[in-house]
Every structure is written in structure tokens, then in C-alpha cells.
Structure 1
Amino acid sequence: MNWRDRPRCDETPAWASLQRHFAQRFVGADAFDLRQAFADDGAQRVERFGFGAAGVWADLSRNLIDDDAQRLLNQLAQQCGVEALRDAMLAGECINTSEQRAVTHVHWRSGSNQVPALIQKAPEATKTIANLHRQIAVSRSELLDFAGAVRADGAITDVVNIGIGGSDLGPRMVVQALRAGGHASGPRVHFVANMDGHELAGLLSQLRADRTLFVVASKTFGTAETMQNAASARAWFAAQGGTDVARHFVGVSANAAAVAAFGAGRCFAFDEGVGGRFSLWSSIGLSMAIAIGRAGFEALLAGARAMDQHFASTPIERNLPVQLALLDVWNRNFHRFASRCVAPYHHGLRRLPAYLQQLEMESNGKRVDLRGRALPFDTAPVVWGEAGSNGQHAFFQMLHQGTQVVPVEFVAVREPAHALAGHQPKLLANALAQARALMQGDQGDAPARHFPGNRPSTFLLLDRLDPAGLGALLALYEHRVFVAGAIWGINSFDQWGVELGKRHAAPIAQALGSRGEPEGATGDPSTAALMRRLR
């Protein structure tokens, strides 16, 4: 199947079969019940709905799905041409059709000897990909050499990453995770994203200008929040007696000219095919490389590369990213679950839900397909969550007894990086217990103590939170989003909705700074009234 001729999910025979099967098996008094499914076929069900790849194990057995639904979902992936689109992405074709760009983030984590393996199913790949890999190798070498020099420079004690969105969420989450896992060393690495000056001011008050390196990360080097923070940091640097802006400021951007105009001494570039929310593997990962070092950064890439190889070569029926994406489609479009809760049972992964919010909702929060047609079905769910076991004392009440059914995704790590006795067994016991309680429920001795049970969950398990394991986990999530978007027939790699608010903000900001009547700049009485109060 040519990837350009792929049908949308609701145009396939499998979609109609899934609708019939759902109506027959999952609706009504005799609807599918997890407790009965495990009573009938427990051990075998766990085996059939268990999937592993690159050190990540996923137990999907506690979801409201049966063998026939899984079989039909596999057919849906085939009929929607998921494999054809995957191969086109790996071949460097312009699958981001609205922007006429290739999607290249996978290539940024490929080793120089990985090109043939990654594109083995796409013989139409041209010299363009080979050239890109050569450029990536040079860029990565320069980035890691610079990161190593910063780590070895005793004069630099603090590094501040200034970025927002994909230039912040991924690197921030990775550094937090690997610091908690004992894999971060070297200078202290901080992150600033919010345009609210309280974040930057609070950090600057703790720093010395002569001991700080600022990494300004923006694909265009024109992102409003980032450039405001960068300008304020540069002004603070000068006010503190700093004189060598070129030494203490570097840029990470696809716009080298703007970086030079700002006064940064170095620009670490990456190509236009790297979307922001997929960019941590590229030069955007400079702050990560400074925190975890060359070996850590290369291990992160290697873990992601292992998941890439699994995704590129494993049949749909046992392909972990594909199976998770199919489950997402099943939950969203058939069960009509509007959200998914992500509960990482590891302090280092506390920002994982925020990272996934951008990855999933910015990628697949779309209402028209690739041909511009309005979609007759829902796409991305709302992704939300909090680190376990904190969430148990906040929103798990709703998960167990609320009127809405919300699938929960538990993420756990087997080995701790600390030596505190008693913590890890109790933490893992809580994760396992919550998943079991959601499924089992409880009759209780009064209506208020009744737990309906039969509530779905997925359990993801890593052996340890090290760079390779984290790399594999994040690549798994990326491919999962890609597959869901392919099935829904949307472009997961543009984000026009992000731009609309920015267009409104510029004239409002100008009007807020003036003394004139604001209506003409805002266009609606509500905004004008609020502006008068603010002024």
C-alpha cells in the first residue's frame, strides 16, 4: 500500500467489524467484565496481552478488551497502512504534508551504522537520508565535545536551559529522571520556561553571573516566552558585571543568524524536520548532555534506538508501540473514554504526565484529517496525572468511585537508586494494589462504600531508571502517538493551534503598554474590560 493512499480508520472493513463487535460484546447487561475474563482465562490472558521490547514490559491484560477485539484492531492497523507510513517516515519522505517536511527525529538517535537497518523496509530511501546522518554525526560530536568541556570547566557551576514546550519539557523531564536515578553529575542544570518573571527571577537570585552558562533553546529563535526570558537573563548578566556574553550564552536553534544576532557564542543546529515535542534527541538535548555526560547521552540514544528497531521490524501482532496505540484507539473511539491518567510510581518521572500532555495532545489533538475533512470521531484523549503514591491521596477517589471511567496507566521501576530500607517494596505494592483494586472493586457494606470495579488499567514496567531504559520508554511513547495518528488519518507533526493564541497576544501586549483605548486592538468587549482593570 502506498502511504499516500491510506484509508482513514472509519473507511476500513475492520472499523465496521469493530463497531459490531463492541455493540455485541461490550454493551448491555452481559457486557464484558474483567473479573470474569480472569476467572475464565487468567494466566493465558496475561500472556496474550503482555508485550515487551527494549527493556520495557507492558501488561495490557487489565483493559476492557478481548481476543476478537484485539484481532480486529490488528486488522485495522494493517488496513490503515500503518507499516507503509512508518517505512515512509524512516525513509525520509515528507509525511508532514501540511508543512511539506520529512519527520526526522528518529534519525537523530541513530548510530552511523544504523542507517541500513532503519530503512531496510524502505528501499526508495535516497542520498538525502545518508547525508542527514552524516550531518547528525557531526552535530552530535560537536555537542558532546562542548558538553564535556562544560562539565570539565570548574568555573561553570550552573547551567540554565531557557526554552518552552519541546525545548523544555523533554530535557527537563530527562534530567529530573536521571538525576533521581543517580545518573546526573557535573554542574547544576536548571530550567526556565514560563514567561512569568517569577520563575526566572527566583532562579537568578541564587546564581553568579561569572559561574553560569545559559542555553537558549528555540527552533526558530523567535519564541516569545523564550526570547523574553533570554533577554532578561542577558540584562541580568550585564547588571551583575558580566562582560563576555559569547562565553556565557549559547543557542540551540535552526536559525543560526538569529542566534548570532543575539550575541551567543555558539549555535548548535538541527534540521527543520525535528518537531519540538520530538526534539530532545537532537541538539535540543544539550542541557541533558551536560547533566548526564557523553556516556549517558549515548546510552539514552541507544535505548531509544533499540525501541526503534523493534518498531521497525516486529509484526503488528507483537509490536509494543502499535499495540498500545491500538488500545488507545479502542478506548477513545469505542469505549468513548475521554481521558487517560498516567501515574508514574517513581519520583524521577513526576514530570512524565506533563511531557506526555504535549506529546499526545499537541500531536493528535486535531479535528480534520489529512485531506481537510472534519472528523466524525474523537482523537486524542486528555492526558493527565501525578506521581504515585501522591495521586492516591488526591484523585484516585474519582478513579475508583467517580461517574466517569478513566483508564489508568501505571509506570513502575523495579530497582530503586536509593538505599533507604522499606520504601521500594511498599511503593511497588501500592502500584500493584491500585491496579488490582480498580479491576476487582468491592461490594462494601453501604452504597458509599461500594466500588464498581471493572475499571481498566495498563502497567508499564522498567527494570531500572537508567539512560537506556528511559530512552526506550520515551521512544515507545513517540511511536505510539505516531501510530494512533496514522489510524485516525491525521497529521501528528504539525501544530497550527499553538500559533493562534500567539497572534492574538501581540496586539494585546502592545495595547496593555499604551494609554489608548484598547477595543480596537482586542476586538471584543470582554477582553477590553479586563485590560482596563489590569491597567
Structure 2
Amino acid sequence: MEKLKQTPAWINLEHHAPLVKRYHMRDMFVADKNRATKYSLDAAGIHLDYSKNRVTQEVLDNLFDLATQRQLAEKISAMFSGKKINTTENRAVLHTALRNFSDKPVMVDGENVMPQVKATLTKMEQFTVDVHSGKHTGYTGKAIKKVVSIGIGGSFLGPKIVTEALKPYWHKDISVVFVANVDGCHIHDVLNTCDIEETLFVMSSKSFGTQETLQNTLSAKAWFLNNGGNQNDIAKHFVAVSSNVKAAVDFGMAEQNVFPMADWVGGRYSLWSAIGLPICLALGYQHFEALLHGAYDMDCHFQSAPFDQNMPVILAMLGIWYRNFMGAQSHALLPYYHYLRGLPAYVQQLDMESNGKIATLDGRTVDHGTGPIIWGSEGSNGQHSFYQLIHQSNLPIPADFMFPINVPSLSDEKQERENQTLHHQMLASNCFGQTQALMQGKSFEECYKDLDGKGLSDDERHTLAAHKTMAGNNPSNTLVFDTLNPKTLGALIAMYEHKVYVQGCIWGLNSFDQWGVELGKVLGNQVLDMIQGKSSMNEADASTQALIKRFLQQ
């Protein structure tokens, strides 16, 4: 395959970029009354309006040509068919198989993995039913009331964000809390809220050896044993999600309480696997299955829709346009729904861990921008803080706005329902108004005119108008859905997964390894050995030695 910057479409886009930078989106909307309709589409329960982007039809055509020239269709097929596209680890990438509701087999090394996937789902369903029904109890016979999920990275963020986002669907008798940070304050605070007889711990670690997860689990085990439990009771209160069954059994867990993970499930793509057990326990299996169905619907759309009608592809190629041709360094995610407030952190890991790379698949150093910085917060809070930067920065900051048309009623009282309706109308007005303000801006002339009759001198009016001026022309996508139910959330997360993969394909990256993360784990373990006196500090650099000595002295 030819180098990225030598593809005809890339060369054409380099030509178009300086021309488009002269255009303002206000003029684009004036010139094309149908722009909003033309640049919007629906897929898997999500409506995307991408009309507020600094693109012309020529730019979009070249972006889709670039996808074709980078053999995107073939690469999509390779992922879904189980080819080992994670080349540096020689692994298939099959999180999509975990939500495959077709009758088609998915082959890895000549074996159909779907029976294994279905068996794990059946096991998760039965365990969830047993906990919710009271069949699986604590060691004293009391029903489980609290689940403590212990993991880190994808084993933590995915289940936490999904559970948080779907709060209206929580099971009434179960609360689920999450522990990730190895900071002892976190596990201490959580354990102080637990009743030993009614608490279930779910430890999620593919290797059963992740440092932070293992230590937090050992702390939970010590708490359990020091407060009335014994080794024989552990099987009633501890379960594991891991590919290392032996280590879990040696820990004291019953083998039937170990939920398997396959080698081809990457951490940040793993919520669809047994890593999603806390989601099942929080919501009920039927809602977890609906989550899978939503992702499957987006998978089908992604595989079948032409590029110019393909939601993940459109979002990905717009991101390529801003990152590589328009000078953007970051991308903001702005959910206008309180329960969806954790999504920016989830996509941050998904995107930055996948495409924060400098080496192409063939080992060359890239000569183009790759993964952007992903950040964001819930609306409308962000409007009163960082939106200022988006409105008046001299760097483009593309943004995704997300909004549910309907939200679950929080009360049966008429007055409270009416009050909730007012809240939601205000939230909608802020969401849609901000996308308009970012696109439209406010010219110097408009600001100057607004100051007429304010008792200011002409110089004062000019100065103040300059401060109030906002150029606008800030791009955004608006993602609207009827309601954030489990199925819609599954589709939304899958959409971002596929967007990230598409961008990795264009940039020529392996989006499924994470060697930077691995280095941090290795060095962290080495420093721990130095702190504990198991190895010499002389192996570390002078700064690290000084920090270790300061820690030990205190």
C-alpha cells in the first residue's frame, strides 16, 4: 500500500484545506438551505446531525475516497472475520463476536468461538438470576445486597460508565460500586460501607495478576477474613473474571465462580464480555443483553452501509479532516444528560490508548498527526467553564454533543413531572443553542452595534467589542436519541469503537496494543521492588532514586 501522504485523496485534501479555511459555516447554511437535511442520518436508534462541520461536498467526497484508497472495507471485513489484525501481539480482535446475534460462526485458528461466547453469557445470566433471586447468598444465608467490582482500565471504566449511565434501570435490591485506584483510601472508604454478610466482590483481571487489582482484592480478602469470614466462605463472596482460572481457584474462589475471558478480547473493548458481569448484577441480564443488541445493530450498520451513509465512518473521517488538515489537536465530548457524564472518560481511554501511537503497522515512524486528545464533561456545567476556550480559542476544537429527547420520569407527582419537563427543555435549549453559538459566533460589527447607547466612547466601544467578538466557525456533531436505554447506549459505545478503528486504519496504526501502558506497569513493579528493598535503587535514574529516598525517609 502506498504511503498515506502519497494517496491521491490526501493530496486533494491538502489542496482543499486552505480554501475551506476561508469559508464560514454561516455562509454555507445560507448557500444551501438543505444543508441540515443533507448532512444528517440515522442508525441503530441514533440521529447524527453533522451539518455544522467545516466541510464542503468536495471535502467529504475526498475523505471517503481516502477511506477507499486505504482499503477500509477490507480492513473492516478482516476484523469481523477474526483475522489477527493485532499484529504486534498476534491476536484476533473480536469484541464484536461477543455481541454477535447472527447465526454466522466466527473463526479463530480454525475454531468457531461462538459456542464459547454463548456459554459464558449463559453462565453470567444464571449467576445474575441466582444472586437476584436469593439462591446465591452470603455465608450466613443473607441475600447479596452490595457488589464491589474491582478492576482497572477497561475492566473498570466500561462497567462503571455503563452502570452509571443506566441508573434508571438499576435492580432495586442491589447496589454496585467500583474500585480501581490502588490508593488505599479508595478501597478503605468502600469497605467501610459494606456489610460482610451481604457483599459480593467481583475481581476482574485477565491475568489475575494486575498489580492494582490484585492488591485491592487482597485488601478486600483481608477485610473479609478479619471480620468474621473464613477461607471456606470466600467462594460465597468472591468471584473472578479472568483467563487464569488456576490463580483464581488458588485464591480461594470456587471454580464455577470464575468467568472466562478469551485472549482476543482487549481490555478497553471488554465490557461486552464477562467483564460486564457487574453490569448484569446492577441492571439484570435482560438489560445487559439489550446493551449487546444495540452494539450488534451498530456493527451491522458499520459493515453494510456505504461510507457516505456510515455513521462511524463519517465521524472518523471528519476527525481525520480536523486532525490532519485543519490544525485540531483535541476533540471534546459533551453529553447533555447527567447519567451519561462518564462517557468522555470512557472514550478517552478507548481513543487515546488505541491511536496514541507513533509507529505504523510496518514499524515506520509516522509523519502525520494521529490520535487527538479526548476530553469533555457534561452539559450544561461545561458552559460555565471550558466552553470559553472553545468559543474564542484560535485552535479548532471539534465537539460531539449528545442529547436524549426523552428521559425516565423521576416521580409520579404531576408537579414534579412538570418541573422535570421544564428542566429537560432548558437542557435541550442549552445543547442546541451551544452548537448554534459555536457555529455562528458573533461578529465585531454585531458586538459594536450592541454597545450603542451604553455611554461609551468610540475607543471604549471598539475595545469592548473586540473582547466580545467570537469568530464562530467552530465545528460540532450533534447525536440525538429518543432515550438512553440499554440498547441505545450499546449502539453509542459501538459507534465510538468503530470510529476509533477507522481512524487507526487511515493512519496505518495497530489500534489494539498498548505498549506505553505496559511500560508503565513494568517500571511500576520495578520501583515497588526498590521501595520494598527487593532490588537496588542504583538501577534507577538519579531523580527516581531521590524520590524513593524521600518517600522512605518520611
Residue 313 (structure 1) aligned with residue 304 (structure 2): yes
**1:100 lines up with 2:87 in the alignment:** no
1:57-72 counterparts in 2 under 5 A?
57-72=47-62
- Which residue number in structure 1 is paired with residue 202 of structure 2? 215
* Residue 144 of structure 1 pairs with residue 125 of structure 2: yes
TM-score by length of 1: 0.93
Deviates more, 1:390-399 or 1:6-15: 6-15
SS in 2 for 1:388: coil
Q: Counterpart of 1:178?
A: 166
Please state if 1:482 is matched with 2:469.
no
Which of 56, 67, 70 is residue 77 of structure 1 equivalent to? 67
For residues 233-278 of structure 1, the C-alpha deviation after alignment (integer angstroms, 9 at most, x for no partner) is: 0001111111201111000011112211221221100211110000
Structure 2 counterpart of 1:151, one-letter code: H
Shift in Å at residue 98 of structure 1?
A: 0.9
What SS is found at the alignment partner of 1:325?
A: helix
Equivalence map 1:87-486=2 (5 Å): 87-111=77-101, 113-115=102-104, 128=110, 131-153=112-134, 155-179=143-167, 181-243=168-230, 244-265=233-254, 266-418=257-409, 419=417, 420-443=420-443, 444-445=447-448, 446=464, 447-486=466-505
Count of aligned pairs between the two proteins = 513
Worse-matched range after superposition: 477-486 or 441-450: 441-450
Once the two structures are TM-superposed, the CA of residue 72 in structure 1 deviates from its matched residue by 0.4
Alignment partners' CA distance in 2, 1:490 and 1:174: 28
CA contact (8 A) 2:327 2:396 kept: no
CA–CA separation in structure 2 for the residues paired with 1:36 and 1:352? 33
Q: Distance in 2 between matches of 1:9 and 1:67?
A: 22
Match of 1:26 in 2: 20
CA gap 1:127/1:101 in 2 versus in 1, 3 angstroms: closer
Q: What does residue 3 of structure 1 align with?
A: none
- Distance, in Å, in 2 between the alignment partners of 1:139 and 1:370 is 33
Contact 1:340-1:381 at 8 Å conserved across structures: yes
List, as ranges, runs of 4+ consecutive aligned residues in structure 1 with deviation greater than 6 Å: none
Give the superposition deviation at 1:106.
0.1
For 2:261 and 2:387, locate their aligned partners in 1 and report how far apart those are by CA, in whole Å.
42
**Counterpart-to-counterpart distance in 2, 1:297 and 1:506:** 36
Equivalent residue of 1:16, what SS?
helix
Give 1:109 deviation, angstroms. 0.6
Task: Report the Cα offset of residue 45 of structure 1.
Answer: 1.4
Letter in 1 for 2:302: F
The amino acid that maps onto 2:235 is A
Tell me by how many angstroms 1:7 deviates. 4.5
CA contact (8 A) 1:34 1:439 kept: yes
SS of the equivalent of 2:271 reads helix
- CA shift at 1:114, angstroms? 3.9
Q: More displaced, 257-266 or 359-368?
A: 257-266
Matches of 1:293 and 1:395 in 2, distance apart? 37
TM-score by length of 2: 0.90
Corresponding residue number in structure 2 for 1:525: 542
Q: Say if 1:199 and 1:139 are closer, same or farther in 2 by CA, change over 3 A.
A: same
% identical equivalent positions? 42
Cα distance between partner residues in 2 of 1:431 and 1:458: 11
Per the TM alignment, residue 199 of structure 1 is displaced from its structure 2 partner at its CA by: 0.9
Once the two structures are TM-superposed, the CA of residue 160 in structure 1 deviates from its matched residue by 0.6
Give the secondary structure class of the aligned counterpart of 1:58: strand
Report deviation, 1:529: 1.8
Contact 1:339 1:406 in 2 (8 A): yes
2:139 maps to: none
Identify the range of structure 1 (412-421 vs 381-390) with the bigger mean alpha-carbon deviation.
412-421
- Asked whether the equivalents of residues 182 and 417 of structure 1 are also in contact (C-alpha less than 8 Å), the reply is no
Give the AA of the match of 1:206.
T
Matched residue SS, 2:32: helix
Superposed CA offset, 1:500-522 (max 9, x none): 11221122112223499x64142
RMSD of equivalent CA atoms: 1.6
Q: Distance in 2 between matches of 1:173 and 1:381?
A: 21
Structure 2 alignment gaps of length 5 or more: 135-141, 410-416, 449-463
Q: Conserved in 1, the CA contact under 8 Å of 2:169 and 2:283?
A: no
Q: Which has the greater radius of gyration? A: 2
Whole-angstrom CA distance in 2 between matches of 1:407 and 1:217? 35
2 CA distance for matches of 1:435 and 1:184? 36
- Give SS of 2:166's match: helix
In structure 2, give the amino acid aligned to 1:484.
Q
Instruction: Determine if contact 1:8/1:487 at 8 Å carries over to the other structure.
Output: no
User: Structure 1 residues 8 and 423, CA, compared in 2 at 3 Å: closer, same or farther?
Assistant: farther
> 1:323-372: CA deviations, max 9, x gaps?
11111111100012000111100111111010001100000111010000
Matched AA of 1:525: A
Give the 3-state SS of the residue equivalent to 2:318 in structure 1. helix
Shift of 1:407: 1.1
| Cα 1:170/1:95, change in 2 over 3 Å | same
CA distance in 2, matches of 1:500, 1:182: 39
Task: Name whichever of 354-363 and 142-151 sits farther off.
Answer: 142-151
* Amino acid paired to 1:466: N
Q: What is the letter of the counterpart of residue 71 of structure 2?
A: G
CA contact (8 A) 1:167 1:218 kept: yes
1:437 is matched by which residue type in structure 2? Answer: A
- Structure 2 vs 1, CA of residues 515 and 329 (structure 1 numbering), >3 Å: closer, same or farther? closer
Aligned AA (2:438): L
**Offset, 1:52:** 1.5
Deviation at 1:127, TM superposition (A): 8.3
Task: Give me the whole-angstrom Cα distance separating, in 1, the residues matched to 2:493 and 2:517.
Answer: 23
Match of 1:46 in 2: 36
